[in-house]
Chains A and B, each alone.
Chain A
Amino acid sequence: MSKRRRRIPVFRLAWRNTRRNTRRTLLTVIAVTIAVTAITFMFAYITGILGNFVDSYARSESGHVRIRKDGYTERERLMPVYLKVDGVSELLSSIREHPDVEEAVPRIRSSVLVDGAGSNRPGLLLGLDLDREGPYLNPTGMAVNGNPPRPGFPEVMIGTEFADRLSIDVGDTITVLGQTAYRSLGGLRLVVTDLAFSGISFLDNSMLVLPIDQAQELADMPDAATEILVFSHDAELAESLAAQLEEQLAPIVEGDIEVLSWLDQGQLMRTMQMMRPLLGVVMGLMLLMAGLIIVNTMLMTVMERTQELGMQAALGMRRSDIVFLIVSEGIVIGLLGGFVGAILGSGVGIWLEHSGIDFTAAARGIDLPFQGMVYPDWTLSYAVTGMLLGILAAGVAALYPALRAIKMAPAEALRQ
C-alpha cells in the first residue's frame, strides 16, 4: 500500500495566517507597498528624464538621421558653412520619398556676430525651413508672442536671454555678420519679429532663428544647407534608414556626404546608451533597499512565531512544508502590497505624466539639450514589473527566516 501524504492546502493556510495578526501583516504590506510604489514611479520618472534628453537632442541636434558634408563633424566646433550640402531641394525630395521617413528638414547652423543696440555678441544662427520644422524645433512654439519670422523676409527671432544681453527687443533691427561659404565675411540687416524661448538653456542664451533663405543669403550658399535632419516614424529604424539613405542618395549627391544615425553621432547619445545600464544599477540598488525593508519586516514576523513553528514541526509537519508555508505567506503579502503599490505608483506617474515636473530653474545654465519640463513616461509594464518584483522580493525575503526557523530543533523552538 502506497503511503500517500495528504497535501496541505498551503495557500489557504498562508492566507488564513496573514489574517491572524492583522497589525503584523499590515506592517509588512505597507513596507511592500512603499517599495513597489517607489519602483513603479521611478521607472516612469527615469524613462521620462531619458526621453526628455533623447527627444530634445533628436529635435535640436541629431534628427534620427543627420546628413552633412564629409569632414564637417571633425570641425563641428567651428560650424564651418563652407562645408555644406549642395543641391538640397533635390536631396530633400528624394529623402521624403523613402517610406520610413516622416520628414526631412534642411538647416544652416553658423557662428555669427550679432550687433544690437551698439553692443555685439557671438551667437548661434539657425536657418530653418519654418514651415516644416513645426514638430521638430518648433519655431512657432518658441515664438514668445507667436510671431516667428516669415520665409522670404529679412526677419529674425532671438533667444530670450540673448536678446536681454544685447538689449534688443521686438521691432529692433540688428546686424548679423558671419562667414560665407566662400570663407569671407557676409552680413545682413534683420528685423526682430519676436523673442524665442526653447527651454533649452544654451539655445536661449545664443540663438537667432531665421528663415533658411535668409541664412543662405548671408552665407552666400543658395540651395545649400549645413545639414539635413531626417526624422522617421519609428526612431528604432534610424540605423537601417541611415544605411538605406546613403545608398539612395549616392547617385544624386554632389561630393562626399556623411549619413549618420543618431546613435552614431557624437558623445551624447552614446552617453545616454551608457546611462541605461547605469540606471539599471540604480534601480537594482533601489530594489535591494526595498527588498531589505521587506526582509526585515518578514524576519520580524517569522521570528515572532518561532514557538508556533516549533509546535508545527513537533506535530510532524515536514520541514519543506513549513518553508513553503512561510514563503507562501510572503508571497501573499507581496501580492497585497505589490498590488496597492503598483496602483499608487501608477497613479502618481500618470498624474505627473500629464502635469509634468518643472525643472526649468534647474535646467537653466545647463549646456545640454534638456527641456525644462520632465514628463514621467508611465506604461503598464512598469506597474506589472514593480508588482512582480515586490512579490518576488517578499517571497525570497521570507525564505531566510523560514530556513532559520526549521533549523531549530522542535523542542528548542517550543522552549523559546
Chain B
Amino acid sequence: MNRMTMTGVARPTVAASICLLALAVHGEAQPTPREILERVDANMTMSTARVNAQMTIAYRDGDVRNLIYDAWAQGTDQSFLEFTAPARDAGSRFLRLENAMWIYLPRVGKSVRIQGHMLRQGLMGSDFSYGDASENPSMVEDYDAVLEGEEELDGRRAYVVNLTAKPERRDLAYQRRKVWVDADRWVPLKEERFARSGKLLKTALLSDVRRVGDRWYPFRIEMDDAMQTDTRTTLQMLSVELDIRVPREVFTLPHLEGGE
C-alpha cells in the first residue's frame, strides 16, 4: 500500500470534501464504492509527509534484518528515502520523481536511474517494491470500485471493495486490488493485490492505527510478496509527520548525490 508505506500524499480534493459533507448529511447510509475510495484517499493522502520507520525483513531460514529509514514525500509522485541503519546500508538513498527512480549508494558515488519493470523489484530485498515504497497514487483516480460487502476484521467493521484499474491505467503494477476498509476510520486494514491475470502478487496487513492530526494512520504494515516466498516484511512507523513543510530541494538529484 503505497500510500501507507512511505506515507502518503496528495491533496484532499474538493470532491472528497463534498463527499464528506454528503455523508454527514445522510448519516449511516451505506456509502457507494466511490465514496469509500474518496474517504480513504482523503484520509490517507497528504500534501506532504515525513516518516521515520523500521523495516524488518524476516527470512524463512530464521534470519531477520532490521533497517531504519527516513522518508519524505510530496504530492503523489515525489519521494525521497534514505536508510540510516544498519551501518552497511546507511546512506543508501532513493529518489522517486514521476515514473523514474534514482538509486544512490555511497560506495558507488553516482546515482543510477531505474524505471519500468525494475520498479517492481524489492526495495533492499524486502517484500515492498521500489514502486510500493515510493508511489502514493489516488485510488479514486486509478481504479474503478465495486463494493463486495461488509466483513469484520480484527474486531472492526470493514467494507470489502474490489478495485479494477481504469482502462487508461494499464501501466499500474497491480491491475486488481481487494481492499478491506475500516468503516469508521477510513483506513485500509487489509489488501490483496493482483496481476491482470488474477494472480495474487501481494498481501498487506495494516494495523496499529493511530491518530495523526485529524487523520487515522496505520503505523504497522506487514507485506508479503507472493512471488518472493522466502521473506515477509514488516514496516513499523517510528514517527509520522503529515502535511508539514518539506524543502523543495529534497526531491532533487543534487540532494540525492550530494549532501544533506
Report A's interface with B, CB cutoff 8 A. Answer: 71, 75, 113, 115, 118, 120, 175, 177, 179-180, 182-189, 220
Contacts and interface: CB of A to CB of B under 8 A. Distances in A.
B125 A177 contact: no
A165 to B, nearest CB: 15
B92 A185 contact: yes
B20 interface: no
Contacts of B125: 179, 183-185
Contact of B57 (A75, A113, A179, A183): A183
26 contacts: A71-B61, A75-B230, A113-B112, A113-B114, A115-B112, A118-B113, A120-B112, A120-B113, A120-B114, A120-B118, A175-B108, A177-B103, A177-B112, A180-B88, A183-B59, A184-B65, A184-B89, A184-B92, A184-B125, A185-B92, A185-B124, A187-B107, A188-B107, A188-B108, A189-B108, A220-B88
B259 to A, nearest CB: 19
A183 B65 contact: yes
A179 B125 CA distance: 8
Interface of B: 57, 59, 61, 63, 65, 67, 88-89, 92, 103, 105, 107-110, 112-114, 118, 124-125, 230
Nearest to B231: A183
Given A113-B114, A175-B108, A182 B88 contact: yes
B65 A187 contact: no
A182 B105 CA distance: 15
A76 to B, nearest CB: 13
Nearest to A183: B125
Nearest to B117: A122
A177 B105 contact: yes
Contacts of A184: 65, 67, 88-89, 92, 124-125
A188 B114 CA distance: 16
B35 to A, nearest CB: 41
What is the interface of chain A mostly: helix, strand, loop, or mixed? strand
B110 A182 contact: no
What is the interface of chain B mostly: helix, strand, loop, or mixed? mixed
Contacts of B63: 183
Contacts of B105: 177, 185-187
A190 to B, nearest CB: 10
Given A113-B118, A177-B103, A185-B105, 6 more contacts: A71-B61, A177-B108, A183-B65, A184-B92, A188-B108, A189-B109
A183 B230 CA distance: 12
A323 B197 CA distance: 73
Contacts of A115: 112-113
Contacts of B65: 182-184
A180 B124 CA distance: 10
Nearest to A217: B107
Contacts of B113: 115, 118, 120
A118 B113 CA distance: 7
A182 B59 CA distance: 12
Nearest to A119: B113
Given A120-B113, A175-B110, A175-B112, A185 B89 contact: yes
B207 to A, nearest CB: 25
A8 B25 CA distance: 123
A346 B230 CA distance: 56
A182 B16 CA distance: 45
Contacts of B110: 175, 189
* Most chain B CB inside 10 Å of its own CB: which residue of A120, A184, A189: A184
Contacts of A189: 108-110
- The 5 tightest CB contacts between A and B, nearest first, are A187-B108, A187-B105, A115-B112, A183-B125, A184-B89
B68 to A, nearest CB: 13
Contacts of A175: 108, 110, 112
Contacts of A180: 88
B132 to A, nearest CB: 16
Contacts of A120: 112-114, 118
Contacts of A186: 105, 107
B63 to A, nearest CB: 8
A182 B90 CA distance: 13
